[in-house]
Homo-oligomer: A and B are copies of this chain.
């Protein structure tokens, strides 16, 4: 087997995509912003199951940061990322320069109007427009048969599915299950920034999701009661403050009816304060589960 290719040029990537497609080989793309952790590697495994070639893009996308300081401070670990990709058997890493994806005078935006408004979109002006724009550029660069995204970022996944369907991208958008720590907390590079006490309390999200799942299994369909249970569980964590806790249609993201009759996405975003002794930073965590799923 030949080594992993690192490609900087879109034209080169497109030519390789044409060659692979022409030879009948399936390409799966895993878009990342680098800082690769085990969550990403699960996406790579999912990609491997679905294609002959696994391509990972590494690009810290400036247009999805609402705060320029966040962009500047975003962890960059290119050499480590390459090593992780190589060990995971990735075939191609696409690492474009910012000027390639945003050439001088760039002014074209891909926007999903309704799905980008609620939940995480409400607080982060322009964030999802940046996401859908850069994902369009990555799909046009790599021409994959499949693109894999984590289910943890459920709203991002719903937006990208909608975008791919609306514009007619010739790609299958695949959601990969959330990877969790041993105790159940959804894997995120932010977990490391929690203080020890906040890290323990963060399990409130998992307990809230589990509790709602059990209630639904026991026959509860009343969304007000289900959400009251969720809020009660999170309220037990003294460092936690709910950003949102909502039941929504998994595809349209519209609020679920008062009585659940089909699949409903329970979506949580919770802010944790630093520990009382000052350890840790303020960290916003998200998690979700589909209730009444197939």
Contacts and interface: CB of A to CB of B under 8 A. Distances in A.
Contacts of A169: 140
Interface string A128-147: 00001100110011010000
The copy count of this chain in the complex is 2
Contacts of A109: 110-111, 113
A101 interface: yes
B166 A107 contact: yes
Taking residues whose C-beta sits less than 8 angstroms from the other chain, chain A's interface range is: 35 or more
Interface of A: 10, 14, 18, 21-22, 100-103, 105-115, 132-133, 136-137, 140-141, 143, 162-163, 165-170, 252
A234 to B, nearest CB: 31
Contacts of A103: 165-166
B168 A10 contact: yes
A31 B162 CA distance: 24
B113 A140 contact: no
A107 B115 contact: yes
A166 B21 contact: no
Given A18-B21, A22-B22, A252 B105 contact: yes
A160 to B, nearest CB: 10
B167 A140 contact: yes
Contacts of A105: 162, 252
A106 B167 CA distance: 9
Give the top 6 A-B pairs by smallest Cβ distance, nearest first: A108-B166, A22-B22, A107-B113, A14-B170, A106-B166, A140-B168
